[in-house]
């Protein structure tokens, strides 16, 4: 039963008691105090009801806004379309690269194993091999298109996640101990891969690493 209705019933009961022929002054005083208390409680419960109602309205609006933002995020599209498609494109890039590499290496090995006794025949063989190598190198155009699709999907996901985080006021949590330890391990062992636009590794540095003895190599993984 709502608080306002309870207060109304109490006030009605007090009013009925006052209309009766009560001669005892103390009883009338008690009834007056009870009525004052009832009026005070009615104001209190009335403000309480409004406050609770406002809080529930705010929560309902927040839930509705959250559902709307999640809908705009389109997680099912990301899960069922964007990510699988990007994975398939990257797998195709790897496959095309491997196929082209094998073709180029095969042609190079064939040329290295051929003796140029007949210069005309050797020249014709080299020309044919060069054409096949050039054809094999054409994979990079298709790979570039595939990588562009992957980048587009990543930007699409990034845009949606960024908008969702901004709308919901989400802030990054602190990295846990495992993530910090893994980042430190990669940094120490230089496992982050080549830097984008960074300096290339000099041949002297490569030779120095190759020249390490087994103990020095083992120490890198301690």
Confidence of residue 144 (pLDDT cuts 50, 70, 90): confident
Cα–Cα nearest to 90, from 145, 128, 129: 145
pLDDT number for residue 57: 77
pLDDT number for residue 29: 61
Res. 15: pLDDT tops 80: no
The encoded tokens of residue 190 equal: 């230089």
The encoded tokens of residue 136 equal: 């094999």
pLDDT number for residue 48: 62
Burial class (CB in 10 A: 0-12, 13-18, 19+), 83: middle
The residues near 192 (Cβ < 8 Å, ≥ 6 apart) are: 186
User: What is the average pLDDT across 130-153?
Assistant: 87
Give the separation between CA 131 and CA 179, rounded to whole angstroms. 48
Domain locations along the chain: 3-71, 74-168
Res. 1: pLDDT tops 70: no
Predicted model pTM: 0.51
Asked if 132 and 108 touch (Cβ cutoff 8 Å), the reply is no
Reported as a single tens digit per residue, the pLDDT across 61-108 is 888 888 887 777 787 888 888 888 888 988 988 898 899 999 999 988
């Amino acid at each position: 039963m709502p608080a306002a209705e309870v207060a109304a019933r109490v006030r009605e009961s007090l009013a009925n008691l006052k209309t009766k022929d009560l001669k005892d002054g103390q009883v009338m005083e008690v009834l007056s105090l009870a009525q004052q208390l009832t009026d005070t409680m009615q104001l209190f419960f009335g403000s309480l009801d409004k406050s609770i109602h406002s809080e529930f309205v705010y929560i309902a609006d927040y839930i509705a806004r959250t559902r709307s933002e999640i809908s705009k995020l389109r997680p099912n599209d990301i899960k069922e379309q964007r990510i699988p498609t990007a994975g398939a494109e990257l797998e195709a890039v790897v496959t095309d690269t491997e196929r082209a590499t094998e073709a180029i290496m095969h042609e190079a090995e064939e040329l290295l194993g051929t003796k140029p006794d007949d210069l005309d025949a050797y020249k014709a063989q080299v020309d044919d091999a060069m054409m096949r190598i050039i054809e094999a190198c054409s994979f990079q155009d298709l790979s570039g298109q595939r990588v562009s699709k992957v980048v587009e999907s990543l930007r699409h996901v990034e845009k949606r996640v960024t908008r969702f985080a901004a709308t919901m006021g989400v802030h990054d949590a602190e990295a846990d101990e495992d993530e910090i330890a893994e980042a430190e391990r990669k940094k120490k062992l230089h496992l982050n891969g080549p830097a984008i636009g960074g300096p290339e590794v000099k041949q002297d540095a490569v030779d120095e690493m190759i020249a390490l003895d087994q103990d020095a190599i083992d120490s890198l993984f301690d």
